């Protein structure tokens, strides 16, 4: 079995006829020469149920689909917006925590201290 490389992998989406190539950022036909060669090198595409879920897999890896794979792109964008919202929200809370601490006369938290605080909440 081929070692998983998200930069060069194929997924078979249940509702589609071709396979999705992370390298090309789009669907390719089953007779695509690169796909055929990949299969011959002991590759096996990963099955996934929906385009949106495939987009969710690609988002944390920053493997943005082409606009022609609109269902995958929509899932990618939804996951990216969620990840970015979480990051921005964390920064806002960090800023607010230090503003409250300043009003209370307490020293500000450093980023490592804030990360330790968040970790303690998990």
* DSSP 8-state code for residue 21: E
Tell me the pLDDT tens digit for each residue of 50-87.
999 999 999 999 999 998 889 999 999 999 888 888 88
pTM of this structure: 0.69
Question: What's the whole-number mean pLDDT along residues 103-115?
Answer: 94
Q: Which of 48, 49, 60, 55 is nearest to 75 (CA)?
A: 55
Return mean pLDDT, the chain. 92
Task: Report strand pairing: 19-21 vs 46-48.
Answer: unpaired
CA separation, residue 21 to residues 26, 38, 45, 75, 95 (Å): 6, 11, 9, 16, 41
The whole-number average pLDDT for the span 18-44 is 95
* Per-residue CA distances from 87 to 13, 46, 81, 91, 92 (Å): 30, 29, 10, 6, 9
Q: Closest Cα partner for 13 from 42, 39, 45, 43?
A: 45
Cα(94)–Cα(116) distance, integer angstroms: 12
In the DSSP assignment, the letter for residue 95 is H
Distances (CA, A) of 67 to 12, 38, 70, 110: 18, 24, 5, 41
């Amino acid at each position: 079995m081929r070692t998983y490389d998200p930069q060069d992998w194929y997924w078979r989406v249940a509702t589609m006829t071709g396979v999705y190539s992370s390298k090309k950022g789009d669907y390719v036909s089953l007779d695509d020469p690169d796909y055929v060669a990949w299969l011959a090198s002991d590759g096996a595409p990963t099955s996934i149920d929906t385009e949106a879920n495939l987009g969710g897999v690609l988002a944390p890896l920053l493997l943005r689909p082409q606009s022609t794979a609109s269902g995958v792109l929509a899932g990618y964008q939804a996951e990216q917006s969620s990840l970015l919202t979480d990051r921005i929200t964390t920064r806002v809370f960090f800023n607010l925590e230090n503003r409250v601490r300043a009003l209370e006369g307490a020293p500000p938290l450093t980023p490592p201290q804030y990360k330790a605080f968040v970790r303690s909440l998990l």
